Amino acid sequence: MLEWGCLPRLEFKGKVFVENHHLAVPFHELLPVREKGLSPKASVRDNLIVHGDNLAALKSLLPTYHGKVKCIYIDPPYNTGNEGWAYNDNVNSPLMRDWLGRVVDRDDLTRHDKWCCMMMPRLKLLRELLRQDGLIVVSIDDNEVHHLRCLMDEVFGEENFVATAVWQKVFAPKNTAKYFSEDHDFVLVYARRIDQWAPNLLERGERAIDRYRNPDDDPRGPWSSSDMTARNFYSRGTYEVTSPSGKKFKPSVGNYFRVSPEKFAKLDADGRIWWGGNGDSMPRLKRFLAEVKEGVVPQTLWFHKDVGNTQEAKKELVSTLDFERSEDVFNTVKPTRLVRRILQIATDPDSIILDSFAGSGTTAHAVLAQNHEDGGNRRFILVECEDYADTITAERVRRVIKGVPNAKDDALKAGLGGTFSYFELGRPMRQESLLDGSSLPPWEKLAAYIFFTATGQEFDPVETNRESGLIGRTASHDVFLLYEPDVDKLKNLALTLPVARALPTGSRRKLVFSPTKYLDREFLHKYRIDFQQLPFQIYEAIERLEL
């Protein structure tokens, strides 16, 4: 599947049909269902749970969240052949739709191609939502990790690869395994722009702190020691030193002291060399706890005792949702401690976190728990396409917010607090719908769609003025929409001289979207108007603004 040229590229069946498919996905309405959320008034700027296909949902989130998400965590299908998933994106080719639409199982010899077809357009939209200093983290196993690396390199840039962490997902080997006990998953980490991202340091654990002792009662406090020799060649690192007891030491053959003789003497005079309790041991360098960084850099080995395991994850879900049996729980559910580790590395207290394969809602649970612990105001966006989006995903979040009576954790028992709004994915906003009047979106929905599509900037409803038609401002233009979601009114709606004169005056140019106009070029120039016809010229506007 790899094609070798200047740079290796992953080739798979169907790629030509999906590599730009995200551009053809229409914006859909996001319909609030207030009774399923926990907010007095549904808002797309609240914590969000969106029920619907995640490709369409990601596209519909762009007007509000383009370039705003600090951290993306996804746990896509591992493509083991046992999940029974089917690609359902509306690609143009009938033959491709027939091939892609069949349920994937272990006997499907093209299941890896289908998985790549499913992932590529979603990764491209996720990249658009990510902040320049943002991070995307993906859980995966051996079935697709090699393909995912190639896809991520192509979409995010191989220069933006950060690390592959290994998560120990079980705490005991599976002796029933045919060949090897599979004890780990992978966690792939990519930055949006590696030159603008840096990890948060993690809190130093008790075991790490316990390594610092003070056997010589040094007034500078606890310290740990490290070997002063290394195998790296150093021309001045072959000298001999004498311990306080008179015993002499030199590096062993093939090793060298890390510092010069002069530097060694200064360290010894400053009490930073440890010669052992009796003063007759090979010298070691003392490092004081008070002088080391407050935290530690993230490591790529994530042990279950630190970030949880699959059994812990199932127990969390069973206790939260009162499942009768652990067998009723998803096999791939993740522990909240795993997601919280990601939040600790990659987020600030006010970050937005997105999970477009939400499953049981672990990411929302982790965000609320992290906020409760450190006083943060992080927000989550969950997208789930399955019917359990309400009964499992959202229900877990409701209970975590309100409280879980039988929880062992006191904070969870009392409730972690917070709100969220629940949305259903509505109808697509297509050009043909505007032409024939079959499905006219509300003014606000079309305004958000047009403003983002035409300018590439976030739509802010606070900027709008329905009376004048203003839907937002760019650095160079005020943007207006002349539109009514009524066929009869729409037929008679046009940019006329009275309408042009009624637009706000000033030196700024005006970008006006309207079904038609009755003004010639001279009048448009006089009133500093750039006209765009609905629905045909929505995609041309950004080119005009960039001139």
**What pLDDT, in 10s, does the model give residues 161-177?**
999 999 999 988 888 88
Q: How many residues does the chain have?
A: 547
Contact 315, 292 (CB under 8 A): no
Pick from 296, 372, 419, 377: nearest CA to 70 = 377
Same domain, 287 and 381: no
Same domain, 118 and 137: yes
- 544 CB contacts (<8 Å, ≥6 apart)? 511, 530, 532
- 223 CB contacts (<8 Å, ≥6 apart)? 212, 213, 214, 286, 287, 288, 289
Q: How many CB atoms are located within 10 Å of the residue 142 CB? A: 12
Same domain, 146 and 199: yes
pLDDT tens string, the chain, 547 residues long: the values are: 555 445 668 888 878 788 887 888 888 888 889 999 999 888 888 999 999 999 999 999 988 899 999 999 999 988 876 656 565 665 544 545 555 556 665 656 577 888 898 899 999 999 999 999 999 999 999 988 999 999 999 999 999 999 999 999 998 888 888 899 899 999 999 999 999 999 998 887 777 788 899 999 999 999 999 999 999 899 999 999 999 999 999 999 999 999 999 999 999 999 999 999 999 999 999 999 888 877 889 999 999 999 999 999 999 999 898 776 444 557 789 999 999 999 999 999 999 999 999 999 999 999 999 999 999 999 999 999 999 999 999 999 999 999 999 888 999 999 999 999 999 998 887 666 665 666 778 888 889 888 877 776 778 888 999 999 999 998 889 999 999 888 888 888 899 999 999 998 888 999 999 988 998 888 899 889 999 887 655 544 444 454 4
Same domain, 420 and 488: no
Residue type at 326 in one-letter notation: S
Same domain, 184 and 305: yes
Domain boundary among 251, 274, 291: 291
| Centroid of chain to Cα 29 | 23
Tokens representing residue 422 in the block = 């629940």
Determine the pLDDT at residue 94: 53
Same domain, 13 and 132: yes
Pick from 39, 55, 70: nearest CA to 379 = 70
- 485 CB contacts (<8 Å, ≥6 apart)? 440, 441, 442, 443, 446
Domain boundary among 276, 291, 306: 291
Whole-angstrom Cα distance, residue 353 to residue 383? 12
Determine the pLDDT at residue 78: 87
- Phi, psi (5° rounding) for residue 26? -75, 155
Determine the pLDDT at residue 102: 61
Whole-angstrom Cα distance, residue 530 to residue 547? 12
Pick from 349, 350, 337: nearest CA to 311 = 337
Domain boundary among 359, 390, 425: 425
CATH number of the domain bearing residue 329: 3.40.50.150
Domain limits at 326? 2-203+297-425
Whole-angstrom Cα distance, residue 64 to residue 46? 12
Count of the separate structural domains present in the chain: 3
Determine the pLDDT at residue 547: 41
pLDDT tens profile 332-356 = 899 999 999 999 999 999 999 999 9
Tokens representing residue 138 in the block = 């993906």
Same domain, 303 and 403: yes
Lookup result for tokens 């289908």: 114
Q: Is 104 left (phi over 0), alpha (psi -120 to 50) or beta?
A: beta
Determine the pLDDT at residue 85: 57
Same domain, 337 and 444: no
Determine the pLDDT at residue 205: 72
Same domain, 174 and 323: yes
Determine the pLDDT at residue 103: 60
Q: What's the Cα-to-Cα distance from 536 to each of 90, 335, 341, 532, rounded to whole Å?
A: 22, 48, 47, 8
Pick from 473, 458, 547: nearest CA to 62 = 458
Same domain, 234 and 301: no
Pick from 374, 532, 370: nearest CA to 453 = 532
Same domain, 220 and 198: no
Pick from 436, 453, 456, 437: nearest CA to 445 = 453
Same domain, 361 and 306: yes
Calculate the CA dihedral of residues 481, 486, 489, 492 and round it to 10 degrees: 70
Whole-angstrom Cα distance, residue 391 to residue 388? 5
